[in-house]
Amino acid sequence: MSTPTSIKEIDLTPLPGKTYWSTEREWREEFTYFLLVDRFHDNHDRTPVQTQSRSTSAGTPTQLSTFCGGTIRGILDHLDYIAHLGCTALWLSPVFENNGAPNPDSGTYHGYSIQNYLDIDPRFGSKQDLVDLVSAAHNRNMRVFLDVVTNHSGDNWYYQGDVPYYYFDDLQFPFGGWRQDNRPLPQELRNPDYYHRRGQIRNWDVDIEAQHGDFISLKDFDNDDDLSGLQLLDTLIKTHCYWLREADIDGFRMDAVKHMGALAVSRFCSAVREYAESLGKRNFFLFGELVAGDDAIDRYIGPNTPAQVNDETIYFGLNSVLDFPLYYVLPGAIKGLTPPVNLINRYENLRNHALSRGELGRYLVTFLDNHDQIGQDPKQRFAAGAPDKQVIAGIGYLLCAIGTACIYYGTEQGFAGQGSDDRYIREPLFDLANSGVSYLNPDCTIYQEIARLAAVFHKTDALHFGRMYFREISGNGRDFGLPQGQPCTLAFSRILAYQEVLVAYNTSTTEQRNDYVIVDSTLHTKGSTLQFLYGSDGTIPIQSHPDPGNPSLFVQLTLEPMQFVILQ
């Protein structure tokens, strides 16, 4: 069948004879690998560089500004590299046809300026490549998530005079014309009324401007709750359900949801989730990019989230969002640059919002860094300036703390890009100057240690479902309190029913620490032991408080600089 160009040509009945893949595994049991398709691997047969860690493949600024050659087939050929790291889900950057296609020297390599929602960008491969990748992932019991852009289209049309227009007083500006005769697709998107036409956003902190304005040259969809907005949303829903039918996709990461609005997001998610269920796909995962605090997050996620429209209450928005509040405080705490109190307070604030959201931590995708590094100037990856042990501890923290852990591609190789803009933190995992060299090195120290951590995570239920408590520490075994400054022993427990898993990390880069760490006195007894699951060998005894009448129990941990341990 030819590639459709209109939603009228889309068949959403299940593929004949197809059994759609489903899993009962919960989202918080996943370890997600996020990659940029153009930067992971190309179609060349390459040999990994056998370095221990700290590979670097940064090209010139010009090379990093355009396509480097990564493909969907390149991901498929190296899927075992991701699986052996311990990742159980794959998040792909947008794969649909972008502005400039098929020219490899023009357009946007990152995928966020879409001109055809019904086909794969030929620079990344074909629809069959995506189908094959998803099938291979399912054979390895891995989910595949697509990054989808429903807030805006690419630069597919221009304002009158083909000059930049800027947001002003929510005025709508006249439509100029389409940049191509046959784009955007589906054809239904060639309707000027489907776009807000308010010009470029200037003040990103004003809600109405952020929801009506354009992302620089990218044109904002009119996703309001009116006739044209509902028609647009129906078009976007059907185009994305098409990819569930064709490729058996397991979830969507939705870009820029704050700019789209909670009601439109809720309608989109509800329709897509229902369609996934109709195919027999359970637990379809919808998570969003929401650069905001917990108050805003509560309006978008969880089965308790309502959207009121006249007399109608609409439920079921996103399942989850990326945990930006954690992103802002965790790297500094792991590197010993900021007081741990900021990290601890982040969780206390999260606990206050749990009643509106459901189970604490279930609805958050946690990360250390990503392809944007919002709020940074200059931009830099987490591994920039960080020893290997800090990188390992950072990913270890994500795997052991509440939420769904996500690793940004290249972190497992110690990639440490930094620079004035996004391109410097989006290095390819293959050598641009040598077609025979790859940086997918499983012998890298960071890769191997993350794989060990992931193995512990996957077999330890408390690290998936347990409650989380930061632990008080003491230097003398008598006076306990939560750590206030740096360096420190940063420790927390995950408790599931009658099991406690203790996680601890020495934030110092130079000094050993010998701190006492509180454990749950209702689950342990004096003289019993905790066994190391990661970071050391053997057991350590549980001690009682020296003051009569104080029921506290604790262990004494001797931790080398940047040592990360898990005990049970």
pLDDT along the chain (568 residues), means of 10: 92 97 93 98 91 68 92 98 98 97 86 97 98 98 98 97 97 98 98 98 92 96 94 98 98 92 88 96 92 75 61 72 94 96 89 62 87 92 96 98 96 94 94 92 96 98 94 97 97 96 98 98 97 98 96 98 98
pLDDT given at position 147: 98
Topology of the domain covering 7-150+231-459: TIM Barrel (3.20.20)
The predicted-structure confidence for 213-259, as pLDDT tens digits, reads as follows 999 999 999 999 899 999 999 999 999 999 999 999 999 999 998 89
What residue spans define the domains of the chain? 7-150+231-459, 152-222, 462-567
pLDDT given at position 61: 86
pLDDT given at position 246: 98
Q: Which superfamily does CATH assign the domain made up of 462-567 to?
A: Golgi alpha-mannosidase II (2.60.40.1180)
Cα–Cα dist 293/327, whole Å: 11
Q: Give the helix ranges, DSSP H, for 335-383.
A: 340-352, 354-357
Q: What percent of the chain has pLDDT above 90?
A: 82
The span from the first CA to the last CA of the chain, in angstroms, equals 56
Cα–Cα dist 26/218, whole Å: 35
CA 236, chain centre distance (Å): 22
Indicate the pTM of the whole model. Answer: 0.96
pLDDT given at position 521: 97
Whether 71 and 42 have beta carbons less than 8 Å apart is answered as yes
List, edge to edge, every strand of the sheet that includes 553-559: 473-474, 513-519, 553-559, 543-544
